[in-house]
């Protein structure tokens, strides 16, 4: 429950941060306001005023001339305008990402809470390659099964640390001012078991993501991913039993076998790029 609270909190924080960035991206530009005697209001920049006329360059680039007798008064105000986005967001360079996510199992194993950090290099506006490390905690680790299929989940858990190569391929038209973009991502590596390294599966992930561009090289990223090998789940199953008699009476003797199964999930991730 605590993990869900943190995940929801991070999603809400991301939305509020996005909105704040939109509002903070507004600057004040000083413009002249010309009030004419016929009630018309013209906004722009006064180029000249003399010799019986006033020349005004309007906000849409037109040049208008008015007789001074037509001008009732003038003033100035701050016009809210968004600044031009810097043109270095999609240029080659180093990039980093941090992520929170939650995976829902699709093969009857365990859900997974995940945290990831990635660093790498953007080689072009279309391609990123980097290395990542994470922390995954399955919601259940050991399952006991009897020969009739009855399951009992043990409370013991183990954490897994995925180490992987991460790549992004960006789609669609990419211009210097583009703010919304989709990309596909792939990850491959290994998930190290913190308790028993011999149970460290191969890790693979394929994702579809949406990126919202913020100021400078910062961004918010939302991903839907398929993951295999975020951890393994042990399953102990009874494969043989017999009855035994001693001085205390008759009792059952059980033999167990252990199977391991890679955890497979569909996960939702929220990330911040910088």
> Which residues make beta-bridge pairs with 186?
167, 206
Cα gap 173→177, rounded to integer Å: 11
- Determine which helix (DSSP H) or strand (DSSP E) holds 42, and give its type and residue range: strand 41-50
Give me the pLDDT at residue 147, please: 46
| Angle at the Cα of 138 from the Cα atoms of 191 and 151, rounded to 5 degrees | 120
Residue found by looking up tokens 């992930």 in the block: 205
At 19-28, the pLDDT tens digits run: 555 544 445 5
State in Å, rounded, how far the first CA of the chain is from the last one. 30
Query: Pairing state of beta strands 93-105 and 249-273?
Result: antiparallel
Which of 173, 220, 216, 221 lies closest to 87 in space, CA to CA? Answer: 216
Contact of 247 with 269, CB cutoff 8 Å: no
User: What SS3 string covers 235-266?
Assistant: EEEEEEEEEEEECCEEEEEEEEEEEEEEEEEE
- Confidence label for 80 from pLDDT (cuts 50, 70 and 90): low
Instruction: Supply φ then ψ for residue 226, to 5 degrees.
Output: -100, 130
Provide the pLDDT for residue 100: 94
Instruction: Give the model's pLDDT for residue 130.
Output: 94
Question: Buried b / exposed e across 170-179, counting CB within 10 Å, b at 16+?
Answer: beeeeeeebe
**What's the rounded mean pLDDT across residues 244-268?**
72
DSSP bridge partners of 225: 207, 267
Section 157-163 average pLDDT: 81
The single-letter DSSP state of residue 148 is T
Residue 58 CA to residue 159 CA, distance in Å, equals: 64
Residues in the chain, total: 274
Lowest mean pLDDT segment, chosen from 47-56, 86-95, 136-145, 225-234: 136-145
Q: What is the chain's mean pLDDT, rounded?
A: 78
- The stretch 194-212 carries a mean pLDDT of 85
Return the higher-pLDDT residue of 198 and 229. Answer: 229
């Amino acid at each position: 429950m605590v993990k869900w609270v943190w995940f929801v909190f991070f999603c809400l924080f991301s939305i509020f941060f996005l909105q704040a960035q939109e509002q903070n991206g507004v600057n004040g530009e000083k413009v002249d306001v010309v009030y004419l005697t016929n009630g018309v209001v013209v906004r722009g920049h006064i180029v000249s005023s003399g010799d019986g006329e006033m020349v005004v360059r309007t906000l849409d680039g037109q040049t208008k001339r008015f007789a001074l007798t037509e001008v009732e008064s003038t003033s100035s105000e701050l016009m809210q305008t968004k600044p031009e986005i810097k043109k270095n967001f999609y240029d080659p360079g180093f990039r980093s990402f941090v992520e929170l996510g939650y995976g829902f199992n699709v093969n009857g194993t365990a859900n997974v809470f995940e945290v990831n950090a990635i660093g790498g290099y953007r080689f072009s506006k279309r391609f990123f390659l980097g290395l990542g490390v994470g922390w995954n905690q399955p919601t259940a680790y050991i399952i006991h099964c009897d020969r009739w299929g009855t399951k009992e989940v043990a409370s013991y858990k183990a954490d897994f640390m995925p180490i992987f190569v991460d790549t992004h391929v960006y789609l669609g038209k990419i211009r210097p001012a583009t703010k919304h973009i989709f990309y596909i991502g792939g990850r491959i590596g290994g998930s190290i078991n913190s308790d028993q390294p011999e149970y460290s599966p191969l890790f693979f992930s394929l994702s579809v993501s949406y990126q919202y561009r913020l100021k400078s090289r910062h961004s918010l990223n939302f991903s839907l991913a398929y993951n295999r090998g975020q951890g393994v789940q042990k399953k102990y199953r009874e494969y043989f039993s017999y009855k035994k008699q001693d001085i205390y009476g008759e009792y059952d003797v059980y033999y167990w076998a252990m199977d391991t199964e890679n955890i497979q999930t569909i996960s939702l991730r929220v990330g911040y790029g910088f």
